[in-house]
Amino acid sequence: MEANWDDLKTFLGVARAETLSRASARLKADPATLGRRIARLERALGQVLFTKSPQGYVLTQEGQRLLPHAVKLEQTMLDAEEDLSGEGAALSGQIRLGAPDGCANFVLPQVCADISRRHPALDIQIVALPRIFNLSKREADMAITVSRPEAGRLVVQKLTDYKLHLAASRGYLEAHGPITSLADLGAHRLVGYIPDMIFDKELDYLSGTSFDRVTLASNSASVQLNMIRQGGGVGVVHDFALPAAEGALRVVLGEAFSLTRSFYLIRHEDDARVARLARFAAELGEGVRREVARLEALA
């Protein structure tokens, strides 16, 4: 069996992009060239690695088995390049980070912009999705979660605690009167998550309360914030998101209703010793802790 590194890089690019056209933009090669490389790799291995259709390229079982080995080789090559460049050299290559959309919208932009300025050859991709990422399928190199995973070959690092409070727009409170107790909430419109789309128990903020009807709902924390900002009602807001409302929101029942949650950084166990990912994780963790503290102080 003979397979060259260019063909394996193409395999990884197509597996991640799922189409030749998207992979072409990332790998800076035309789709026809990528198609020839995939065909050459399949001939070298004697296996069909993708099922091809008008919708794109889907890994076969043989392709799924090859994927973790190709990822390991990619990380080894990147690690070797960094090691040869020197321990203090700037990071390079691509790192994809998954995160819940609240963190992705209000915390990570500043953190990743700072990292990017220090490492101009590094491409950082933030994937903001309201669900849990599957690192075993390499949907991302690492992910931030709101609960500690209990299963899987993962390395878990707690990043920081963060706080949440009830909030409403100034206009809404002026129109509907003050809220002085939890009992008052029964007369107000509530903004929150779509109940059957809450993907993590830590996001079920209203569990155990008597408020079983959410008038305006979304699976996105940032959409909820904008609903509240537009006078849609009262809802749970991250303290670190309040500065983004530019003074339009007021915290209500601050002492009676206060939640504390945590962010965790998870990486696949196989990546734990990859120097470039470890360096990025260290800078990311420090940046997230600093940014959450800064934003909460402004809330």
The residue length of the chain stands at 299
Cβ-in-10-Å burial (0-12, 13-18, 19+) of 127 comes to: middle
Contact predicate 90/119, CB 8 Å: yes
**What is the structure's pLDDT at 132?**
59
Collapsing DSSP to helix, strand or coil, 153 comes out as: coil
Q: Are strands 154-169 and 249-252 parallel, antiparallel or unpaired?
A: antiparallel
pLDDT score of 114: 97
Q: What is the DSSP string of 39-51?
A: HHHHHHHTS--EE
CATH number of 91-160+262-298: 3.40.190.10
Classify domain 5-69 at the CATH class level.
Answer: mainly alpha
Cα–Cα distance for residue pair 28/95, rounded to 1 Å: 17
Which pTM does this prediction carry?
0.74
Q: Where are the domains of the chain?
A: 5-69, 91-160+262-298, 162-260
CATH number belonging to domain 162-260: 3.40.190.290
Encoded tokens for 81 = 């390049």
Take residue 291 and report the two structure tokens written for it.
């940014």
Site of tokens 């101009």? 120
Same fold, 91-160+262-298 and 162-260: yes
Tokens of 9: 């890089």
pLDDT 10s digit of each residue in the chain, 299 long? 556 888 888 998 898 888 888 888 878 888 899 999 999 999 999 999 999 888 889 999 999 999 888 887 877 776 676 666 555 567 888 898 999 999 999 999 999 999 999 999 899 999 987 555 555 555 678 999 999 887 777 889 999 999 999 999 999 999 998 889 888 888 899 999 998 888 888 888 877 666 768 889 999 999 999 999 999 999 999 999 999 999 999 999 988 889 999 999 998 877 766 778 889 999 999 999 999 999 999 98
For 155: left if phi > 0, alpha if psi spans -120 to 50, otherwise beta; the answer is beta
